[in-house]
């Protein structure tokens, strides 16, 4: 069960946290990345969320801009780092951005993180922790609690301190002397809170918000946004221009996600199809194939695109040629000019190509005399040579 209260902000974010978390402390130790959307916080919404984790706090703060864009999500973590029934309190606020990406942490005044011997973290260790928590792909994600905390012959202090008690593989990814603290925080950052945040952002997605996220300098943000175009918002000309620029980029992963973000409705546009074709002509093999497959989703292939593909048939290799011919067949709009262009491939010295052209023309069943003559010649040649 989830409910929310909307509260108008009265001042800065820090003030908000002071007011509503009930800590009544100021924050002195703070490590934060720049949020994706750099607008002032206008409103804070409190969401009561069943996180399904061990932290008792069930409140997630959503800081919104005046436009209603989520700037940041925050969660106060008050828990213990425990082993063998011995606990040290962990009192920290974690922050995420609009896409659920880790932004940072801060500690209430007079609070500090400590290591096995209650020795406080140094500045360097806080920085190291921040860096470790930033890595969403950290191998820590693959470690289980009982690897970090072996069950026998260990004490809490040993766990955080001694490599003998903690898997040697873990030590590389934790703050020295604070293995369990690092492990716990990392799993809080990337645990059940993150999908809850993403779900809340999805509720507020608009073309404008998505556009802002798409312009993020952070690659994960952009990928997140590209994964949230299709099925979430109607694309705008600005968004489409950005998506096209990503398709043109040399970054394959970005291009692949960008192509994937284009939907059938977008493809009704002949202009968009033409732009995709322009990119097609300049792009590498892997992207070319994806673009042809995307054009298969178009309700109707534009005449301009069909013309370009037809004029380039002789330049396409086996796989791209096969996909292009499939595209023509699938679109069902094969004009005489296209059939004639394909029939020219019947005399190609590459038998794989000529066979493909033959198979295509058999499906088309053209009544054009030129094509029929070429087909007859092809059949005669095959019969004469006994070719497969």
Partner 1 sequence: MTKMKRRSALASLGSISLGISSKGFLVKEKEVAVSDTYKIKKQTLKTDILIIGGGTAGVVAAIQAGRAGKKTILVESGSQLGGTTTTGGVAFPGIFFAWGQQVISGIGWELVQEAVAMNDDTLPNFSIPHGKNHPRHQIRLNGQLYAMLIEEKCVQAGVHIRYYESPTRITFKNNNWTVETMGKGMHTEIQCNQLIDCSGNAFATTLAGYPVLRESVTQPGSLMFQIGGYDFEQLDLNLIKQKYEEEIKKGTLDKYEFRNNVIQILKSQGDNISHVMGADSTTSESHTLANIKGRASLLNTVRFLRTLPGLEKLKIIDVQNETAVRETYRIDGHYLVTQEDYVTGKVFEDAVSYSYYPIDLHDEHGIIPRHLNEGVIPTVPLRALVPKNSRNLIVAGRCISSDRLANSALRVQASCMGMGQAAAAAAVLAHTYKTTPLEVPFQDLRNLIETHGGIVPGLT
**Residue 153 or residue 369: which is nearer to partner 1 going by CB?**
153
Build a one-symbol-per-residue string for 219-258: x at contacts with partner 1 by CB under 8 A, - elsewhere. xx--x--------------------------xxxxx-x--
**Residues belonging to the chain:** 388
Q: Report the alpha-carbon distance of residue 198 to residue 9 in Å, rounded.
A: 23
Q: How far is the CB of 156 from partner 1 (least distance, A)?
A: 15
* Cα–Cα distance measured from residue 289 to residue 324, given in angstroms and rounded to the nearest whole number: 9
Which region, judged by CB under 8 A, interacts with partner 1, from 56-64, 122-130, 319-327, 366-374? 319-327
CA-based angle 69:70:73, to the nearest 5? 170
> Could you tell me the smallest distance in angstroms from the CB atom of residue 6 to partner 1?
36
- Among the listed ranges 35-43, 44-52, 281-289, 337-345, the one in contact with partner 1 (CB under 8 A) is 281-289
| Residue (323 or 366) nearer to partner 1, CB | 323
Closer of 231 and 386 to partner 1 (Cβ): 386
Residues 6+ apart with CB under 8 A from 119: 177
Using CB under 8 A, which of the segments 21-29, 137-145, 199-207, 230-238 binds partner 1?
Answer: 137-145
* Bridge partners of residue 114, in order along the sequence: 120
Neighbours of 346 (CB within 10 A): 21
Site for partner 1 in 178-217 (CB under 8 A): none
CB of 241 or CB of 293, closer to partner 1: 293
264 binds partner 1 (CB under 8 A): no
- Pairwise CA distance, residues 273 & 287, whole Å: 15
* CB burial string 170-204: b at 16+ within 10 A, e below: beebbbebbbbbbbbbbbbbbbebbebbbebbeee
Quote the least distance from Cβ 279 to partner 1, whole Å: 16
Find the binding residues for partner 1 in span 148-167 (CB under 8 A): 150-154, 167
- Rounded to 10 deg, the angle between the 123-134 and 179-189 helix axes is 40
Phi, psi of 262 (to 5 degrees): -80, 130
Nearest distance from residue 388's CB to partner 1, in Å?
A: 3
Nearer to partner 1, 181 or 354 (CB): 354
* 336-355 binders of partner 1 (CB under 8 A): 349-353, 355
Does 15 sit near partner 1 (CB under 8 A)? no
**Which tokens sit at 189?**
């950052």
Q: Which stretch binds partner 1 (CB under 8 A): 98-106, 140-148, 206-214, 268-276?
A: 140-148
Least separation in angstroms between residue 276's CB and partner 1 is 18
Site for partner 1 in 95-134 (CB under 8 A): none
CB of 284 to partner 1, least distance (A): 7
Nearer Cβ to partner 1 (80/139): 139
Choose between 254 and 295: whose C-beta lies nearer to partner 1: 254
**Cβ-contact 308, 320 below 8 angstroms:** no
Positive/negative CA dihedral, 332, 255, 139, 169 = positive
Q: What gap in Å lies between CA 126 and CA 17, rounded to an integer?
A: 21
3-state secondary structure of 343: helix
Q: Which alpha helices (H) appear in the chain, and where do they start and end? A: 13-21, 123-134, 145-148, 156-161, 168-171, 179-189, 193-203, 207-214, 219-226, 237-248, 252-260, 270-282, 285-295, 303-311, 318-331, 336-343, 351-364, 369-385
Closest CA to 275 of 295, 289, 251, 296: 295
Q: Binding of partner 1 at residue 387 (CB under 8 A)?
A: yes
Residue closer to partner 1, measured from CB, 6 or 347: 347
Which of 139, 336, 370, 379 is close enough to bind partner 1 by CB under 8 A? 139
Indicate the residue among 118 and 285 with the shorter CB distance to partner 1. Answer: 285
Q: How far is the CB of 251 from partner 1 (least distance, A)?
A: 5
Residues that bind partner 1 (CB under 8 A): 137, 139, 144-147, 150-154, 167, 219-220, 223, 250-254, 256, 284-286, 289, 317-320, 322, 349-353, 355, 386-388
């Amino acid at each position: 069960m989830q409910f929310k209260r909307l509260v108008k902000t009265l001042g800065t974010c820090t003030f908000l946290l002071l007011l509503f978390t009930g800590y009544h402390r100021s924050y002195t130790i703070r490590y934060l990345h720049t949020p994706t959307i750099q607008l002032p916080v206008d409103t804070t919404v409190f969401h009561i969320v069943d996180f399904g984790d061990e932290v008792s706090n069930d409140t997630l703060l959503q800081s919104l801009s005046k436009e209603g864009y989520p700037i940041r999500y925050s969660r106060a973590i008050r828990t213990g780092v425990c082993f063998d029934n011995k606990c040290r309190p962990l009192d920290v606020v974690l922050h995420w951005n609009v896409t659920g990406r880790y932004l940072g942490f801060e500690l209430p005044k007079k609070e500090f993180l400590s290591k096995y011997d209650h020795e406080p973290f140094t500045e360097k260790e806080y920085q190291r922790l921040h860096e470790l928590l930033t890595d969403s792909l950290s191998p820590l994600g693959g470690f289980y609690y009982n690897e970090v905390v072996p069950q026998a012959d260990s004490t809490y202090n040993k766990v955080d301190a001694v490599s003998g008690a903690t898997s040697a593989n873990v030590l590389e990814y934790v703050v020295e002397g604070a293995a369990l603290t690092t492990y716990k925080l990392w799993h809080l950052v990337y645990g059940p809170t993150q999908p809850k945040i993403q779900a809340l952002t999805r509720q507020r997605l608009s073309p404008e918000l998505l556009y802002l996220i798409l312009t993020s300098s952070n690659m994960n943000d952009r990928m997140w946004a590209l994964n949230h175009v299709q099925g979430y918002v109607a694309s705008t000309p600005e968004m489409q221009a950005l998506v096209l620029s990503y398709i043109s980029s040399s970054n394959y992963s970005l291009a692949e996600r960008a192509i994937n973000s284009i939907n059938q409705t977008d493809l009704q546009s002949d202009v968009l199809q033409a732009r995709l074709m322009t990119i097609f002509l300049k792009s590498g093999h892997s992207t070319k194939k994806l673009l042809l497959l995307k054009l298969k989703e178009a309700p109707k292939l534009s005449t301009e695109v069909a013309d370009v593909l037809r004029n380039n048939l002789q330049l396409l290799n086996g796989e791209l040629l096969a996909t292009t011919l499939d595209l023509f067949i699938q679109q069902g709009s094969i004009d005489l000019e296209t059939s004639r262009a394909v029939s020219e491939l019947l005399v190609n010295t590459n038998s794989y190509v000529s066979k493909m052209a033959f198979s295509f023309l058999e499906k088309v069943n053209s009544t054009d005399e030129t094509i029929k003559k070429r087909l007859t010649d092809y059949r005669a040649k095959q019969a004469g040579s006994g070719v497969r």
